[in-house]
Chain A
Amino acid sequence: MARAHSVAPADRFPVSARKSAFPYLLTGALLIAFVGSLHVAQADPRRFLEGDALGNVLRFLRGSVPPQVSPQFLGLMLRPVLETVQISVMGMVIAVLTGLPLGLLATSSLTWSGVLHERRSRFGRWLGGFVPYAAARGLLSIFRAIPEYVWALVFVRAVGLGPFPGVLAIGVAYGGMLGKVYSEILEGANPRPLEALHAGGASRPGIVLYGLVPQALPAFVSYTLYRWECAIRASAILGFVGAGGLGQQIDLSMRMFQFDEVATLLGILFVVVGCVDFVSGRLRARIIR
């Protein structure tokens, strides 16, 4: 809110803003939540000192140095690493295939409002436009809200172990995220070029192609690449629930207390994620020009 500091005579002071209770309420709520959470989570820093805690940490640290870098081990780990990358790529493919149509449907300017729908009857707009719109939004919300690990657990039970459930889990969960962001990008597009094309007699596909797509496509690609970075991390972990890749190897090594292997695998994860970050970052920089 702009406060008007007028250059007025000294007897006129600007009236201060009305005092709102909100900051106090917020602080109060935060304090209650904090204390409550401490209690519920059984938070107790002393637990670090009791029992085996320290001993365990030391054992872990001692076991992980030096990391296991023998050629056989590294060679054995090549397949899981590649598998992790593959899972992330295929997962993103399915995510785009799911997210794009749902995202398009979840855009109000494409389904029932705005310049593309001026001639439709009210009922037509409701049935053919608003209903699919609401359904798509609901579906995307469900896909997004349930974490990918839960999806993975369900898919593992449904289609068995291996990389397939991991791919599906990422596809569904990330499809929800992509769809939501795609629809936000489309809704935020500048409507003026669309109006101009519409006034010139362009067909609806023409308006979308020459007005909407050029505005939205760079943002689409950029966000999808960003999500791919996250997908690599996620697919590395889905292995914990049996969905293949590095995660499964880390799980195995931890169960067998081979901390040196764990350390190496973490290092590999580091490198892989770093590479994808780099590639994705460079591509994104070139697109957003």
Chain B
Amino acid sequence: MYELLDLRKVFNDGTAALDGLTLTVGPGEQVAVVGPSGAGKTTLFRIMNLTLLPTSGIVRLDGIDVTRLSDVELRQARMRIGTIYQQHNLVGRLKVVHNVLAGHLGRWSTAVALYSFLRPQDANGAGRALAQVGIPEKLYARTDELSGGQQQRVAIARLLIQNPDIILADEPVSSVDPSLASGIVALLTELSTGSRKTLLMNLHSVDLALAYFPRIVGVRDGRVHFDLSPDKVTRALLEGLYAGDQDEATPREPLRHGQGPFGGACRPLPGFST
């Protein structure tokens, strides 16, 4: 399905995120991508979901070079790839039903999309998708009233509506309560097995990767370090992968006035700022 050959990506400020990365993923495969922060995993995913172009190297999706695609073909290709983000990327003010039905936007005309705000055009489909992720009763709730884990499930429901052939999950559980993390990883792997969709997941927790995935790819310094089944991943290999990993991978949103996880309680005192 995916053929990535010798990818290099250098950003405008000179940072080289990818440095000769080569990877092949077949249809229906389930792959976990692990590695220290700054290794280039997110850049890799952005290239794979066709929102970023590599500086050099070849990206082939089903044998077709993606740089040759026209605008329309590009959109259609994107419809086949579903992405789950670390920050669920939903619109908080909207009701859950609208966020979920946004998965149809690749195929709906603008008129239908507009009308759906007044009368949701596939409310049953949205309801079924939410039932599949375990929160059917939240269909008409306001999205920002849900917990972080529930919102991530809404994002997965949106993906179900989109019905892609490939699922890319970029650290889907890093912002979720650890006790719920394995639930969400299990949900995604079951979905992938059940409908034979290709699944690539970027994970910070190596334990989850080893527990749920038949293929582990370690990425470091913009290159593939190893590409093995879990039983072959030794402790030494992992230590080599994460050697010298300084910072916490979890990004911290600045505790801005009233916007941090603690709300208004974290307003800065005079003379200090965060």
Residue B162 is within 8 A (CB to CB) of chain A in the complex: yes
Specify the main secondary structure of chain A where it touches its partner.
Answer: helix
Residue B106 is within 8 A (CB to CB) of chain A in the complex: yes
Minimum CB–CB distance for A5 against chain B, Å = 10
Minimum CB–CB distance for B178 against chain A, Å = 23
Contact status A199-B51, CB under 8 Å:
yes
Residues A218 and B93 in contact in the complex (CB < 8 Å), given A199-B49, A209-B113: yes
Contact status A200-B87, CB under 8 Å:
no
Within 8 A of B (CB), among A188-202: 192-193, 195-202
Residue B255 is within 8 A (CB to CB) of chain A in the complex: no
Residues A200 and B78 in contact in the complex (CB < 8 Å), given A209-B114, A210-B102: yes
Count of chain A residues with Cβ under 8 Å from any Cβ of B?
25
Closest A residue to B76 using CB positions: A201
CA distance A215 to B105 in the complex (A): 17
The residue from B80, B81, B91, B98 contacting A215, defined by CB atoms under 8 A apart: B91
What is the 8 Å Cβ interface bit string for chain B, positions 37-67, against chain A (1 contact, 0 not)? 0000000000001110000000000000000
Residue B90 is within 8 A (CB to CB) of chain A in the complex: yes
What is the 8 Å Cβ interface bit string for chain B, positions 93-127, against chain A (1 contact, 0 not)? 11000100011011010100110010000000000
Within 8 A of B (CB), among A131-159: none
Residues A209 and B110 in contact in the complex (CB < 8 Å), given A197-B102, A200-B162, A201-B76: yes
Residue A1 is within 8 A (CB to CB) of chain B in the complex: yes
Minimum CB–CB distance for B126 against chain A, Å = 13
Residues of chain A within 8 A (CB-CB) of B75 are 201, 203
The residue from B71, B89, B110 contacting A192, defined by CB atoms under 8 A apart: B89
What is the 8 Å Cβ interface bit string for chain B, positions 157-195, against chain A (1 contact, 0 not)? 010001010000000000000000000000000000000
Residues of chain B within 8 A (CB-CB) of A195 are 51, 85, 89
Tell which of A203, A207, A215 has the most Cβ of chain B within 10 Å: A203
Contact status B106-A201, CB under 8 Å:
yes
Residue A160 is within 8 A (CB to CB) of chain B in the complex: no
Query: Which range contains the number of B residues in contact with the other chain?
Result: 35 or more
Residue B11 is within 8 A (CB to CB) of chain A in the complex: no
Closest B residue to A212 using CB positions: B91
Contact status B91-A1, CB under 8 Å:
no
Minimum CB–CB distance for A222 against chain B, Å = 13
Residues A206 and B89 in contact in the complex (CB < 8 Å), given A2-B272, A199-B49: no
Minimum CB–CB distance for B200 against chain A, Å = 14
Contact status B87-A202, CB under 8 Å:
no
Contact status A193-B83, CB under 8 Å:
no
CA distance A201 to B13 in the complex (A): 28
Contact status B105-A210, CB under 8 Å:
yes
CA distance A200 to B102 in the complex (A): 9
CA distance A207 to B102 in the complex (A): 9
The residue from A119, A202, A218 contacting B106, defined by CB atoms under 8 A apart: A202
CA distance A2 to B50 in the complex (A): 41
Residue B82 is within 8 A (CB to CB) of chain A in the complex: yes
The residue from B85, B94, B105, B272 contacting A201, defined by CB atoms under 8 A apart: B105
Contact status A1-B273, CB under 8 Å:
yes
CA distance A196 to B85 in the complex (A): 8
Minimum CB–CB distance for B146 against chain A, Å = 15
Residue B79 is within 8 A (CB to CB) of chain A in the complex: yes
The residue from B51, B78, B90, B114 contacting A193, defined by CB atoms under 8 A apart: B90
CA distance A193 to B105 in the complex (A): 13
Contact status B273-A2, CB under 8 Å:
yes
Given contacts A196-B85, A201-B81, 17 further A-B contacts (CB under 8 A): A195-B51, A195-B85, A196-B83, A196-B89, A199-B49, A199-B50, A199-B81, A200-B83, A200-B106, A200-B158, A201-B77, A202-B106, A203-B105, A203-B106, A203-B110, A210-B91, A215-B93
Q: Please list the residues of chain B having a beta carbon within 8 angstroms of any beta carbon in chain A.
A: 49-51, 71, 74-83, 85, 87, 89-91, 93-94, 98, 102-103, 105-106, 108, 110, 113-114, 117, 155, 158, 162, 164, 272-274
What are 24 A-B contacts with C-beta separation under 8 Å? A2-B273, A192-B85, A196-B85, A196-B89, A196-B90, A198-B51, A199-B50, A199-B81, A200-B105, A200-B158, A200-B162, A201-B77, A201-B105, A202-B102, A202-B106, A205-B113, A206-B105, A206-B106, A206-B113, A210-B105, A210-B113, A214-B91, A214-B93, A215-B93
Closest 10 CB pairs of A and B: A201-B79, A201-B106, A202-B105, A201-B78, A196-B89, A206-B105, A205-B110, A192-B89, A199-B83, A210-B102
